[in-house]
Chains A and B, each alone.
Chain A
């Protein structure tokens, strides 16, 4: 009886013309309206506005009225030596991110997962999650206070053991290590959450069975724990690859100064500098567009590759 009414209802639903169904749901569309308007105005209008990258954009003329110049800004960008510097700096940080930070979060998650005491595990988790919620201004600020040569505790300690003070904050050599250390301090703990969630879902009987077969803890880790988080690792890796090009912008922006600009400048800081501070809107929009397109290509190809290798992708 119930099934029959359900069938009748679906048939009726299908018969109804589209506009009638839409009219029936008009309240839902009204609820959706503010959100759709937000995405349209603040996400999609800028995508249209990016056309300014192909123009000599003048704010009083707008995108409709400015003169078209084709690919001139891109040609200029690719021929500038600055382009290679930006690309190199971005790649360096991306490699440190995927090669150091990312594996470290996995290792940390595995270590937490191996703990037998729940209380100890919770305590460690609570402590290492905290820095994630601090702003980059605070993280960079703390680094400055600790590392400055004018009374920073690290340099005072170095002096105490008879070593020379190090200009950590104004050195090209220390810029990248500091960036990666800050990333680890702030987010390595937080990064474990998603792996721990995946690890919590592993069926305990798998471990039991393997142990009865005589497997030791390393073998359990290798044959059961790691395979069980493989798809999460792949998904997160794809997401990180897609984001790496605008990775840590605020952090890098805050760490930059005249002395380390050569190794620290990345696409976004460059866009801010030439666009907002020097007023070269079209040129900087072109740099931004290049960055966004590379990011898009990276996600799409990483996703394609993951699927080729038999993993689930992100879409």
Chain B
């Protein structure tokens, strides 16, 4: 590239770099503040003392540990389940000569444009016996149409010859899937697995919609009770009767705990952004 070193160009660079630095800082600061306060006991503006008190309290409180266990459980099993469901369907749809394929694809695409809505879906979840069970947080969102189509395209991009040769060697469809297609798609599978995991870990609304038993609440629901509902003068008093008041450090510690798992997978996710697993296929 020819280097442009004119004054205007340098000024442009300077402003650009500064503006982006500011934006990153503003993005990062609130988070840093939360982490810092969670490790302190003081209630002053700038925390001075370092302590684990808030975390000790959280891990000794039943409500928190129970909700954490629930979240971990549904995230692990839910991700596996959703990934298997998605890849099985994506694999069979990746066969271009399969009779009926286009009908199924059309059926999938249409769900991206139109849906029955919250109330009818609630009754279907109820009718299938999932109400008040943790499966209600996993099964109704088993396959994301968007992920399915991108994964299908990814499978299609695997050379036909590889699949054919495995078949000539006497492999079954399942054999081709597990011995050829999946091993070649590991980066994509990792990315989708992590996306599904983040989705399940973060979901809040399905939990309050489908669960009534507070013992089954995942960590996001507890987090909301701790922070938002205990915020003194906020209106909806019906829900806060049984919620004790929590100090600032404890609130922030809960935020940190609800976020740590995501921060742990983030570096692994990050690797895949650049590879464009999810990009280049905005169109189905």
Contacts and interface: CB of A to CB of B under 8 A. Distances in A.
Interface stretch (A42-50, A80-88, A92-100): A42-50
Contacts of B228: 140-141, 144, 254
- Chain B interface size, as a band, is 35 or more
Given A31-B89, A108-B23, A284-B119, A216 B233 contact: no
Interface string A24-43: 01011101101110110111
B114 A127 contact: no
A38 to B, nearest CB: 5
Interface in B190-210: 198, 201-205, 209
Contact of A296 (B85, B113, B173, B282): B113
B204 A38 contact: no
Nearest to B279: A197
Nearest to B228: A144
B165 interface: no
B98 A28 contact: yes
Contacts of A281: 119, 123
A271 B97 CA distance: 43
Given A114-B16, A144-B227, A169-B231, A35 B89 contact: yes
Given A36-B89, A249-B205, A291 B117 contact: yes
Given A25-B95, A315-B284, A137 B258 contact: yes
- Chain A interface size, as a band, is 35 or more
A34 B282 CA distance: 26
B1 A295 contact: no
Given A39-B143, A41-B128, A259-B235, A272 B118 contact: yes
B16 A135 contact: no
Contact of B251 (A31, A145, A272): A145
Interface in A99-139: 108, 111-112, 114-116, 120, 123-131, 133-138
A114 to B, nearest CB: 5
B227 A257 contact: no
B224 A151 contact: no
Contacts of A47: 114-116, 120
A183 interface: no
Interface string B1-33: 110101011001100110111011011101101
A13 B123 CA distance: 45
Interface in A280-297: 281, 284-285, 288-289, 291-293, 295-296
B205 to A, nearest CB: 5
A46 B124 contact: yes
B139 interface: yes
B223 interface: yes
A76 interface: no
Given A135-B220, A194-B282, A268 B202 contact: no
Contacts of B143: 35, 38-39
B227 A141 contact: yes
Contact of A21 (B99, B177, B235): B99
A292 B114 contact: yes
Interface in A151-202: 151, 153, 156-157, 169-170, 185, 189, 193-194, 197
25 contacts: A22-B99, A27-B172, A27-B174, A28-B95, A35-B86, A35-B148, A38-B139, A42-B121, A42-B124, A45-B116, A46-B123, A52-B120, A52-B123, A127-B24, A137-B220, A137-B223, A140-B228, A141-B255, A170-B233, A216-B4, A258-B235, A259-B235, A271-B117, A284-B118, A299-B113
Interface of A: 13, 18, 21-22, 25, 27-29, 31-32, 34-36, 38-39, 41-50, 52, 59, 108, 111-112, 114-116, 120, 123-131, 133-138, 140-142, 144-146, 148, 150-151, 153, 156-157, 169-170, 185, 189, 193-194, 197, 204, 207-208, 211-212, 216-217, 232, 235-236, 242, 249-250, 253-254, 257-259, 268, 271-272, 275-276, 281, 284-285, 288-289, 291-293, 295-296, 299-300, 312, 314-315
Given A47-B115, A146-B33, 6 more contacts: A32-B88, A35-B85, A115-B16, A136-B204, A141-B251, A285-B117
Q: Which 4 A-B pairs have the closest CB atoms?
A: A46-B116, A258-B235, A35-B89, A288-B117
